[in-house]
């Protein structure tokens, strides 16, 4: 019988207190791994939000505020920038592409983003991935909308459906652009970025929404099914399922449209994204924009500002890790308390082992291996609980916080954290082991307790 076997049987003999210790360690390991995984995934989805864009230009404001409003749809841009300025900067030498962005409207709490067809051509996220269509195609005219995957999922929208957008942000809006129903012509594949929660319309559609009240402009060649509808399309998703199917087949004909003007005559846009033919132009044009006389503008490099923003969140990240570290430490101290309190009762057991020839170093090894076993079992149980938690909590995290958690093997950093817990458990286990060592030297074979 090996020492490990003996330690295991001894643990089984004290299962009640050991189980409690084991669960404490398991829960702390679960907490540590969960916080670490959420942190990593949040960081990942954060830095994946935009890529391949060299500059973001908007009205003069703070770099982070411009990034938050234009990319993350968080907060509002204080001012817009004039279309003339956009046209001027766009025409500069070295500019490969631009994507105008007009924000400020919403639909049932989801942002509405006005742009042109460059958006689907040049917008990149993650590792310079382009936007892909799960269904449908980009918009061709001002009566069409392309929705993000989360919008489609949460509002149960389908291709060909007509929707109405509201002026302003937020879930409740008092001014609905009832006279400008838009047809869903495309649903994007999930990206794990704010694009999933955005409705994309042409700039002209934004202009029409905000312009004087007028009738819906129907595009030649598209069968107008909206005439048969109640115009309060906001309630479409509440219809019963069969009725939805009727709508679906009927409205798919809405997709047969012809290209029309996407831009119109906008006066202002919120911001625009720029890509250059060579990185060489980035700093030069950025400088020019920042000193642009006709209008006060800001140009930011998204990569740099993303890092700045994450740097601001660094302290929260560290506090979270510190808390989970403290939880792990408390659980290990709990193990120490359990082992120390049981030690006095176990002096008899140690003396028996001494009488059959166990050396003090065997007693030390036995006690340490018990602590290692408890820590290892606690870690294993903690990992199992962690995976159970992310399987259960995945949906909630995605829905509530937009953090997409991938169920993957433990990363090297997570394994390193487990390693640190194992080493700490061993060291903490060595404390009662050292006491047991000296007890066994003093007690010898005489059972004093």
Partner 1 sequence: MIQISDLTFSWPGQSNPTLQIKDLQIKTGERLFLHGPSGSGKSTLLSLLAGIQCAQQGNIKILNEDLSALNDAKRDKFRADHIGTIFQNFNLLPYLSPIDNVVLGCNFSKRRQANLKTEGATATSQATRLLDELGLDKNTQHRAVNELSIGQQQRVAAARAFIGRPEFIIADEPTSALDADNRDIFIRQLFEQAQQYQATILFVSHDASLAPLFDRKVSLADINGASL
- Cβ-based nearer residue to partner 1, 170 or 357: 357
- Cβ-based nearer residue to partner 1, 120 or 437: 437
Handedness of CA 4, 5, 6, 10 (dihedral sign): positive
- Interatomic CA distance for residues 182 and 180, integer angstroms: 6
Please state the closest distance from residue 358 (CB atom) to partner 1, in A. Answer: 5
Q: Of 172, 400, 412, 446, which lies in the binding site for partner 1, with binding defined by CB under 8 A?
A: 446
- Cβ-based nearer residue to partner 1, 73 or 346: 346
Q: Of 156, 438, 444, 449, which lies in the binding site for partner 1, with binding defined by CB under 8 A?
A: 444
Number of residues that bind partner 1 (CB under 8 A): 24
Look-up of token digits 């909590």:
393
Q: Where are the beta strands (DSSP E) in 116-244?
A: 124-125, 129-130, 133-136, 144-147, 162-163, 166-167, 182-188, 198-202
Within 10 angstroms of residue 102's Cβ, the number of other Cβ atoms is 25
Question: H helices within 199-279, ranges in order?
Answer: 203-210, 241-251
Binding to partner 1, residues 323-382 (CB under 8 A): 348-349, 351-360, 362
- Cβ-based nearer residue to partner 1, 127 or 446: 446
- Distant-in-sequence contacts of 50-53, Cβ < 8 A, 24+ apart: 50/124, 50/125, 50/193, 50/273, 50/302, 50/306, 51/124, 51/125, 51/126, 51/127, 51/128, 51/129, 52/122, 52/124, 52/128, 52/275, 53/123, 53/124, 53/273, 53/274, 53/275, 53/302
Binding track, positions 383-422, relative to partner 1; x by CB under 8 A? ----------------------------------------
Q: Does 449 bind partner 1 (CB under 8 A)?
A: no
- Interatomic CA distance for residues 436 and 305, integer angstroms: 57
Q: Does 90 bind partner 1 (CB under 8 A)?
A: no
Please state the closest distance from residue 189 (CB atom) to partner 1, in A. Answer: 58
Binding to partner 1, residues 153-182 (CB under 8 A): none
Please state the closest distance from residue 317 (CB atom) to partner 1, in A. Answer: 45
Contact region with partner 1 (CB under 8 A), list: 7-15, 179-187, 199-207, 230-238 = 7-15
- Cβ-based nearer residue to partner 1, 11 or 29: 11
- Cβ-based nearer residue to partner 1, 22 or 219: 22
Please state the closest distance from residue 388 (CB atom) to partner 1, in A. Answer: 31
What residues contact 35, with CB distance under 8 A and at least 6 apart? 320, 321, 323, 324
Q: Does 17 bind partner 1 (CB under 8 A)?
A: no
404: tokens are 């997409």
Write out the residues near partner 1 by the rule CB under 8 A: 1, 6, 9-10, 12-13, 348-349, 351-360, 362, 441, 444-447
């Amino acid at each position: 019988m090996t020492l490990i076997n003996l330690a295991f049987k001894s643990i089984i003999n004290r299962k009640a207190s050991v189980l409690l210790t084991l669960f404490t360690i398991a829960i702390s390991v679960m907490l540590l791994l969960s916080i670490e995984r959420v942190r990593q995934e949040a960081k990942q989805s954060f830095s994946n939000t935009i890529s391949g864009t060299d500059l973001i230009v908007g009205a003069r404001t703070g770099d982070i505020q411009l990034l938050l409003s234009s990319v993350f749809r968080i907060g509002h841009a204080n001012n817009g920038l004039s279309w003339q300025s956009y046209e001027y900067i766009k025409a500069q030498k070295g500019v490969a592409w631009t994507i105008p962005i007009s924000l400020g409207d919403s639909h049932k709490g989801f942002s509405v983003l006005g742009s042109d067809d460059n958006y689907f051509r040049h917008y990149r996220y993650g590792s310079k991935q382009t936007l892909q269509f799960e269904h449908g195609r980009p918009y061709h005219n001002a009566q069409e909308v392309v929705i993000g995957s989360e919008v489609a999922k949460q509002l149960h929208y389908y291709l060909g459906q007509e929707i109405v957008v509201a002026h302003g942000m937020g879930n409740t809006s008092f001014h609905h652009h009832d006279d400008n129903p838009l047809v869903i012509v495309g649903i994007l594949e999930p990206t794990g970025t704010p694009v999933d929660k955005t409705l994309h319309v042409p700039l002209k559609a934004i202009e029409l929404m905000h312009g004087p009240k007028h009738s819906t402009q129907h595009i030649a060649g598209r069968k107008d099914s909206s005439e048969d509808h109640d115009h309060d399309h906001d309630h479409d998703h509440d219809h019963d399922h069969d009725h939805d199917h009727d709508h679906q087949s009927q409205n798919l004909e809405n997709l047969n449209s012809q290209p029309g003007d996407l831009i119109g005559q906008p006066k202002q846009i919120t911001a625009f994204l720029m890509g250059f033919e060579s990185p060489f132009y980035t700093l030069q044009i950025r400088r020019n924009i920042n000193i642009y006389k006709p209008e006060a503008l800001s140009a930011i490099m998204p990569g740099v500002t993303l890092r700045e923003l994450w740097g601001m969140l660094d302290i929260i990240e560290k506090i979270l890790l510190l808390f989970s570290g403290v939880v792990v430490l408390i659980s290990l101290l709990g193990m120490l308390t359990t082992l120390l309190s049981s030690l006095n009762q176990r002096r008899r057991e140690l003396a028996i082992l001494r009488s059959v020839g166990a050396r003090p170093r065997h007693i030390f090894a036995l006690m340490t291996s018990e602590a290692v076993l408890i820590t290892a079992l606690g870690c294993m149980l903690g990992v199992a609980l962690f995976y159970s938690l992310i399987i259960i909590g995945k949906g909630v995290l995605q829905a509530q916080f937009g953090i997409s958690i991938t169920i993957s093997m433990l990363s090297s950093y997570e394994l390193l954290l487990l390693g640190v817990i194992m080493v700490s458990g061993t060291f903490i286990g060595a404390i009662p082991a050292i006491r047991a060592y000296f007890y066994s030297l003093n007690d010898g074979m005489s059972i004093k307790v």
